[in-house]
Amino acid sequence: MTPEALRAELAKGRVRPAYLLAGSEGLLRDEALALLREAVLGESPAEFNLDRFDAAGCTPAALRSAVQMLPVLGARRLVWLREPEAGRAGSKGLTEVLAEIVPKLPETAVLVVTASKVDRRSRWVKAFAEPAVLVECEAPQGGAALAAFVAAEAARCGLSLEPGVAELLAERVGPELLVLRQELEKAALLAVPATRIARAHVEAGVVALAEKPVWDLTDAIGEGRALVVLGSCADRATTYSEFKAYAPFVPVGSYVVVTDTIVNGHPVWPAFGPGPAEAVKQVLTGHGEFVADPLMEKYSLTFNPGGFLRRVR
């Protein structure tokens, strides 16, 4: 099932017993989860009817108990489990329990599992068959698919596009869906008071962000001009692994920028779990060649507080 099909199905009032939101595009996973939360909980109290679990802190017994618990002042509870196959301790037990409970969930519970990557041969993944469902959360591939995403986003926002505008935005920004949405909104501001976006609005307000040819990257590395931006909004372990992989390309005086350090309660999304901010602490503890540069935050407003890491030696 696609995210669009999920949206349409929920709009018709159908709620399935279990959903696996699987794919590398975090924006699509988050939006699908938000739709499910609204459909399942409605106005019922989330503090009683919503359980969030990370594989690192969830036992099989806790998961079993959560799906069996009765709702309070509502018809259903929502149980959300993140990354059950991420290789953490105990994850095998969790996946075995998932394979067992997904086909026989009570009517009072809806189970949502989110995962950036899954092995579709696994028994627990195969358990998300009808009436459960796997929702594909992958970014559109290719220019035509990206242009279609832009056109759909514009329609959702009540905007119209001149011919070629969707293709131009896709070409300039590339397959970063959150950035595509932001750049579309920027172009829309330039079009105010009209609601029709022209090529001129995109050309004036949208910076070309799509990836450069690989030889441009290798030239930059060879000439000591590299700057690394870690922008996947991943968990602590993944972010730290990315840092170790790319930091050697950064020359003295340049930066590794770790983005989205605001999540996990810094100050937003407290349920995210250890993420970029915690990875930064790990980097600063173990890599004395990098320091946090507060001068890059002189205007205060940033999604990356503490994440501008300057190489000093």
pLDDT given at position 29: 92
Residue 228 CB burial class (10 angstroms; 0-12, 13-18, ≥19): buried
Q: How confident is the model at residue 109 (pLDDT cuts 50, 70, 90)?
A: very high
Helices and strands (H, E) in the chain, number of each type: 13, 11
Q: What is the pLDDT of residue 111?
A: 96
CA neighbor of 131 nearest in space, from 36, 6, 17: 17
- Tokens representing residue 256 in the block: 């590794």
Residue 90 pLDDT grade (very low, low, confident, very high; cuts 50, 70, 90): very low
CA distance 254 to 237: 23
Average pLDDT for 97-105: 93
- pLDDT band at residue 139, thresholds of 50, 70 and 90? confident
Q: Bridge-partner residues for 309, per DSSP?
A: 256, 292
- Residue 89, pLDDT > 80, answer no
The predicted model scores a pTM of 0.62
Hey, CA dihedral for 100, 77, 233, 61, is it positive or negative? negative
Digit-coded pLDDT (tens) for 288-308: 999 999 988 877 789 999 999
- By the 8 A CB rule, do 308 and 293 touch? yes
pLDDT of residue 214: 47
Burial environment of residue 83 by CB neighbours within 10 A (0 to 12, 13 to 18, 19 or more): buried
Closest alpha carbon to 280 in 289, 263, 292, 293: 292
- The token pair at 3 is 């995210």
**What is the tens place of the pLDDT at every residue in 27-85?**
899 999 999 999 999 888 888 999 999 887 888 999 999 999 999 988 999 999 998 87
pLDDT of residue 310: 94
Residue 79: strand pairing partners: 51, 111
How sure is the predictor about 151, in pLDDT bands with cuts at 50, 70 and 90? very high
Give the pLDDT confidence of 19-40 residue by residue, as tens digits: 999 998 888 999 999 999 999 9
Q: Write out pLDDT tens, residues 116-135.
A: 888 889 999 999 999 999 99
E strand or H helix at 114, and its extent?
strand 109-115
Q: Which residues lie below 8 Å from residue 110, measured CB to CB, with a gap of 6+?
A: 15, 16, 17, 18, 19, 36, 40, 76, 77, 78, 79
277 has pLDDT over 80:
yes
User: How large a percentage of the chain has pLDDT more than 70?
Assistant: 92
Confidence at residue 218, expressed as pLDDT on a 0 to 100 scale: 61
pLDDT tens per residue across span 189-238: 888 888 899 999 888 877 666 555 444 656 666 677 789 999 878 889 88
pLDDT digits (tens, 9 = 90+) for 243-268: 998 999 899 999 999 999 999 999 99
